[in-house]
Amino acid sequence: MDAYVVGAGQSAFGSFPDESYRSLFETAYTQAAESAGLVPSTLSDRVDEAVVGTLGVGGRQIGLSGPAVTEHVGLDGVPCTRVENACGAGGFAVRSAVQAVKSGMADLVLAGGVEVMTDTSADTTKWWLGVSGETAWERLSGTTFAGVYAQMASAYFDAYDADPEAMARVAVKNHANGARNPKAHLGFECTLADARDAPTVADPLNLYHCCPTSDGAAVVLVASETAAAEFDDAVRVAGVGAASDRVGLFERDTYTSIPASRTAAEAAYEAADIGPDQIDLAEVHDCFAIAELLAYEDLGFCAPGAAPDLIERGVTDRDGDRPVNTSGGLKSKGHPIGATGVGQVVEAFDQLTGRAGDRQVADVGRALTHNVGGSGGAAVVHVLEADR
Amino acid sequence: MDAYVVGAGQSAFGSFPDESYRSLFETAYTQAAESAGLVPSTLSDRVDEAVVGTLGVGGRQIGLSGPAVTEHVGLDGVPCTRVENACGAGGFAVRSAVQAVKSGMADLVLAGGVEVMTDTSADTTKWWLGVSGETAWERLSGTTFAGVYAQMASAYFDAYDADPEAMARVAVKNHANGARNPKAHLGFECTLADARDAPTVADPLNLYHCCPTSDGAAVVLVASETAAAEFDDAVRVAGVGAASDRVGLFERDTYTSIPASRTAAEAAYEAADIGPDQIDLAEVHDCFAIAELLAYEDLGFCAPGAAPDLIERGVTDRDGDRPVNTSGGLKSKGHPIGATGVGQVVEAFDQLTGRAGDRQVADVGRALTHNVGGSGGAAVVHVLEADR
């Protein structure tokens, strides 16, 4: 049984001291309903089930954090499952919604994600993210997520004797895209010099190689084939793949690839019966610039070591052969943990249905989303196809 | 497509300063594998997917807490989703596993739950549980979970002019059952006088009306019909129901019922095409003694207000017409949050397959499990049937 995305919406991502996780979720919910041609107040009568991805809304509600947001939009009564896989929470929430539909136990499922991260001290956020990585040794040694990805970057540029300027190119591209996205957290352009010469965060990563922490929410509606027939637009979930791995980077055999991404992508391609060449557009998990380069390789967009060349040739630019992160990605659009993976599907839906405004890419028939938890302890990939 | 439970195991529940959440999970995993006739080290080759219910293993790993436990038993690589609905996390993990199987995306799914709660101060545990309830007002007012359930008990005994001694009877029954369960946290018997005259915790709830906080883990294996055929024992998941509700008790219309339990049970009965009279045995969510009394009514075992009579007549005793909490329940077996709902399915599996040792009830053809999140913000009910 196929599953379809029939509506998608999100709040702006950014720093919103006057909003709460509930108000942000309501904004995403309202826009998802309207995108599906529904009056928001009637959506609660239609939804059979909800899945919410969040890291405990940034510590504000660490238990029952799913029902705590869905009740606010009138979904009290509807079964709600909170799903968490660190930064991959949102993508896994969408996957669970797809399973719920395919199981025959639900016809219309809300998959949402939400996080509020900017109203606490940097130390609190660092702690909160720290206990989402490997807690026994990485955290004990004081290694932050930037530190973990810095190790991957060091290993990568060393292994391939490549120029770290490739990471600056990721930033330039994603900021150029985000500047066209009114919902982006850091919606401004930057130059190659800006992105190359910024202050160091964790060598070799500098400020422009790191995504921000953000507030935000995103919601998509996943429908069975029967239910989807009632909606004007429906995007088919052609394939889903997921994998886990050792939570600690130091436990893995490679630092120059995220094996969970590779396994998840292979499974998604197999389910969709396609190869990576048949992907027109992708939203990938660029929490740090090195992560986007690894994603190119792990998703099969190029051979190992060839990512710097791919971005330098402009292949992944918005007007390139295979645009990546047209939304601005985590780097420019922002990274409100639980909302991120759902927001990727929002961008894919918008691109596949011609709703992407100034960012619209022509002739997008098939899009991929790629969401990673931690430094690769979990990964999930969706392949989405325009159906009509 | 039907789903089947083909293996089930759990650690002892209790206070285990020499264990970790990983070692406890490994114990449950090993026993689940062995119960299915598998060599534990080969199980990782068979499992397509894992779902782990936990409240962040009691705060030790609040992100990626699913993969952090499954990697320890060799399941790195396997897609793992962490599910949380406060004290209902485990039951929702089993439900997600059932959906994964019914979706056709997996043939054999591990559903596990784990928590470690006893190695921190009472204040830390209280905080941790506090942010799993309604955080805006209930926590602000200093109301603990015992306080919330005390309000329900007060309302109940007032509404029906009933004798609170019914709560002491719940404790006596569940301790009598737990005394036969080598894995129970508080595996000793108590007298009616013990349970009636214990020190007050939150009036009208006394010490014997409250379950302990525990360490522990539980694992069940959920299989498709095809996969289930390979195993000696298979228990059919005849029906699943779930619901959410307002997280805060004060937001609900009734204090003398948990509406989410009622809705979840109705959905499970409808899916199984049975009525409550056809349930032979039940594991219900007795976090506080009042909760077991409400469960009798919400699950349809008796009319509203008739629960005190039901327990006084011994109907729910181990040798009664419809035994409830033969494991000892949360009260005596213990309540390691994420493990609880999975542990209920372990007891149902054991009873349905004749493995319940000194607690075995004769002729159990159909069992029900009932797991609640918070004070009723979420609830999930499974109906399980002996298949062979």
Q: Within an 8 Å CB–CB cutoff, is residue A343 touching chain B?
A: no
Asked whether B243 and A70 are in contact (CB, 8 A), the reply is: no
Overall average pLDDT of the B355-378 stretch = 97
Note the pLDDT of residue A142: 85
Are B157 and B219 in a shared domain?
Answer: no
Are B196 and B89 in a shared domain?
Answer: no
Q: Is A358 exposed, middle or buried (0-12, 13-18, 19+ CB in 10 A)?
A: exposed
Catalytic residue among A185, A209, A335, A370: A335
Are B265 and B363 in a shared domain?
Answer: yes
B369 belongs to a structural domain: yes
Domain that holds residue B149: 141-210+239-326+355-386
Note the pLDDT of residue A198: 97
Q: Within an 8 Å CB–CB cutoff, is residue B303 touching chain A?
A: no
The bridge status of strand A205-206 relative to strand A108-115 is unpaired
Residue B369 has pLDDT above 70, yes or no: yes
Are B203 and B295 in a shared domain?
Answer: yes
Within chain A, strands assigned E span: 3-10, 49-53, 80-84, 108-115, 200-202, 205-206, 216-224, 235-244, 281-283, 366-373, 378-386
Tokens of B99: 């959906």
Note the pLDDT of residue B387: 80
Tell me the pLDDT tens digit for each residue of A224-243.
999 999 999 999 999 999 99
Q: Give the SS3 label for residue B215.
A: strand
Average pLDDT value for chain B: 95
Closest residue in chain A to residue B64, using alpha carbons only? A85
A132 belongs to a structural domain: no
Are B108 and B243 in a shared domain?
Answer: no
How many Cβ pairs closer than 8 A exist between chain A and B? 209
A349 belongs to a structural domain: no
Are A250 and A102 in a shared domain?
Answer: no
Residue B378: which of A59, A64, A242 has the nearest Cβ? A64
pLDDT exceeding 70 applies to what percent of chain A? Answer: 100
Greater pLDDT, A132 or A248: A248
Could you confirm whether A335 is annotated as catalytic?
yes
Are B232 and B243 in a shared domain?
Answer: no
CB atoms within 10 A of CB B312: 12
Residue A253 has pLDDT above 90, yes or no: yes
Tell me the pLDDT tens digit for each residue of B141-178.
888 899 999 999 999 999 999 999 999 999 999 999 99
A77 and B263: CB-CB below 8 Å?
yes
A65 and B84: CB-CB below 8 Å?
yes
B99 and A105: CB-CB below 8 Å?
yes
Q: How confident is the model at residue A35 (pLDDT cuts 50, 70, 90)?
A: very high
Note the pLDDT of residue A388: 58
Are A219 and A186 in a shared domain?
Answer: no
CA A29 to chain centre: 17
Q: Within an 8 Å CB–CB cutoff, is residue A115 touching chain B?
A: no
The bridge status of strand B378-386 relative to strand B235-244 is antiparallel
Asked whether B289 and B170 are in contact (CB, 8 A), the reply is: yes
Residue A255 has pLDDT above 80, yes or no: yes
Q: Within an 8 Å CB–CB cutoff, is residue B95 touching chain A?
A: yes
Asked whether A274 and A314 are in contact (CB, 8 A), the reply is: no
Residues 6+ apart with CB under 8 A from A279: A299, A301, A322, A366, A367, A368, A383
A55 and B63: CB-CB below 8 Å?
yes
Residue A236 phi, psi dihedral angles, 5° rounding: -80, 135
Residues of B in contact with A68 (CB under 8 A): 134-135, 247, 377
What separation in angstroms does the CA of B377 have from each of B45, B144, B145, B251, B271? 37, 15, 12, 10, 22
CB atoms within 10 A of CB B17: 8
Q: What is the CA radius of gyration of chain B?
A: 19
B316 belongs to a structural domain: yes
Please, what is the angle between helix A289-298 and helix A259-272, to 10°? 40
Residue A122 has pLDDT above 80, yes or no: no
B134 belongs to a structural domain: no
B247 and A78: CB-CB below 8 Å?
no
Query: Roughly how many angstroms between the first and final C-alpha of chain B, as a whole number?
Result: 18
Could you confirm whether A87 is annotated as catalytic?
yes
Are B153 and B225 in a shared domain?
Answer: no
CA distance A7 to chain B (A): 21
Tokens of B50: 């894992």
Instruction: Quickly tell me which residue has 């019909």 as its tokens.
Output: B225
CA distance B157 to chain A (A): 26
Residue A242: which of B79, B82, B377 has the nearest Cβ? B79
Residue A3 phi, psi dihedral angles, 5° rounding: -120, 150
Tell me the pLDDT tens digit for each residue of A64-104.
999 999 999 999 999 999 999 999 999 999 999 999 999 99
Cis peptide bond N-terminal to B204, omega within 30: yes
B350 belongs to a structural domain: no
What is the residue-wise DSSP string for B167-203?
Answer: HHHHHHHHHHHHTT-TT-TT-----HHHHHSSPEEET
B64 and A240: CB-CB below 8 Å?
no
Q: Within an 8 Å CB–CB cutoff, is residue A266 touching chain B?
A: no
Greater pLDDT, A59 or B315: B315
B83 and A83: CB-CB below 8 Å?
yes
Residues 6+ apart with CB under 8 A from A19: A11, A116, A215
Asked whether A241 and A266 are in contact (CB, 8 A), the reply is: yes
Are B38 and B26 in a shared domain?
Answer: yes
B184 belongs to a structural domain: yes
Provide the domain count of chain B: 2
DSSP H or E run through A166: helix A165-178
Q: What is the pTM of this model?
A: 0.98
Are B252 and B171 in a shared domain?
Answer: yes
Largest CA distance in chain A: 57
B127 belongs to a structural domain: no
Q: Select from A87, A103, A132 the residue whose CB has the most chain B CBs within 10 Å, as the one to mutate to test that interface.
A: A103
Q: How confident is the model at residue B109 (pLDDT cuts 50, 70, 90)?
A: very high
Note the pLDDT of residue A86: 95
Are A115 and A149 in a shared domain?
Answer: no
CB atoms within 10 A of CB A161: 7
Catalytic residue among A87, A190, A211, A302: A87
Overall average pLDDT of the B202-208 stretch = 98
Residues of A in contact with B259 (CB under 8 A): 77
The CA-based angle A66-A72-A74, given to 5 degrees, is 100
Note the pLDDT of residue A60: 79
CATH number of the domain that residue A186 is part of = 3.40.47.10
Overall average pLDDT of the A195-214 stretch = 97
Overall average pLDDT of the B275-293 stretch = 98
A105 and B240: CB-CB below 8 Å?
yes
Tell me the pLDDT tens digit for each residue of A365-381.
999 999 999 999 999 99
Name residues 213-242 of chain A within 8 A of B (Cβ).
Answer: 240, 242
ipTM confidence? 0.97
